[in-house]
């Protein structure tokens, strides 16, 4: 018996990194998961891992920034399994530069994926959530649903070279706290996790600059110079960056029944940084 048996979850950006680890963690605890990625191959890899555990999953391929994506994402959960209990807004990427060199496209692209896309997904979900909450109340049931938004210490403290990302992540904390107030009446716990240094393909140490990854047709810089990583890790009390699995565990905590009276909270998962 898992703590999330019978629950239905959607996790954006779950083909790789933190999102993948999160989807697998939720599935391991009994949730049925709608996986999402820009590309079919990594999404399928996550589905394969979920099914290897005996879990259930389906995929919605595409960018969270596309018009109509949010509605399709939410509808897939409801149409496939008849409900929606957990929403994890995780998809994102970084595209760094100091402000004087940052283009409008660069600023807008990062805000679109980290802030506007979660807004659209949550807006698309409210109709079902409102109706389900009403049915629960009429039946005398108190059923809690969960929203976990992914934020960052760049949003809580700022970070040089990340005007776009820091602004978006600060915005998601405001959205989290606002929806905690708006959706409390529907028995929805709305929280966020602000991560410190988590080691993923976008943040791994690299010896040579120039490494890129393809994100929606854009070749974006990936990796952090190894010397800079060593300096960051020296400032982390636990002595190292976190793994995607450790990051997923922080998200999972806020999806459990033990979190039914926690809402509007920003959980810092930073190794003490």
Positions annotated as catalytic residues are 165
- The angle subtended at Cα 231 by Cα 229 and Cα 237, nearest 5°, is 100
Spatial CA neighbour of 9 closest among 258, 251, 264: 251
Question: Terminus-to-terminus CA distance in the chain, angstroms?
Answer: 35
Q: Check residue 145 and report its DSSP letter.
A: E
Q: Could you tell me how far CA 188 lies from the centroid of its own chain? A: 17
Query: Which region holds residue 19: left if phi is over 0, alpha if psi is between -120 and 50, else beta?
Result: alpha
**Three-state SS at 9:** strand
Per-residue three-class SS string for 173-231: HHHHHHHHHHHHHHCEEEEEEEECCECCCCCCEECCCCCEEEECCEEEECCEEHHHHHH
Backbone angles phi, psi at 191, to 5 degrees: -135, 175
**Closest of 56, 77, 107 to residue 12, by C-alpha:** 77
Nearest to 58 by CA among 78, 85, 28: 78
Residues near 261 by beta carbon (within 8 Å), at least 6 away in sequence: none
Single out the residue of 47, 42, 21, 16 nearest to residue 202, CA to CA. Answer: 16
């Amino acid at each position: 018996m898992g703590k999330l048996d019978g629950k239905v979850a959607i996790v954006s950006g779950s083909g790789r990194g933190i999102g993948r680890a999160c989807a697998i963690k939720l599935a391991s605890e009994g949730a049925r998961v709608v996986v999402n990625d820009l590309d079919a191959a990594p999404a399928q890899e996550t589905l394969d891992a979920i099914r290897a555990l005996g879990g259930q999953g389906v995929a919605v391929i595409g960018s969270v920034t596309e018009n109509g994506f949010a509605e399709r994402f939410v509808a897939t959960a409801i149409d496939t399994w008849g409900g929606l209990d957990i929403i994890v807004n995780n998809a994102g990427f970084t595209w760094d530069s100091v402000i004087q060199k940052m283009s409008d496209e660069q600023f807008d692209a990062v805000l679109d994926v980290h802030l506007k896309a979660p807004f659209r997904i949550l807006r698309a979900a409210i109709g079902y959530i409102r109706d389900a909450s009403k049915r629960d109340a009429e039946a005398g049931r108190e059923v809690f649903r969960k929203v976990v938004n992914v934020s960052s210490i760049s949003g809580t403290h700022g970070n040089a070279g990340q005007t776009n990302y820091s602004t978006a992540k600060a915005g998601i904390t405001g959205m989290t706290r606002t929806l905690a107030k708006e959706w409390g009446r529907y028995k929805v716990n709305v929280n966020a996790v602000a991560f410190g240094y988590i080691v993923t393909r976008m943040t791994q140490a690299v010896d040579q600059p120039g490494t890129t990854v393809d994100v929606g047709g854009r070749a974006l810089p990936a990796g952090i110079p190894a010397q800079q990583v060593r300096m960051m890790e020296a400032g982390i009390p636990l002595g190292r960056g976190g793994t995607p699995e450790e990051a997923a565990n922080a998200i999972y905590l806020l999806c459990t029944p033990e979190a039914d009276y926690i809402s509007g909270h920003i959980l810092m998962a930073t190794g003490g940084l």
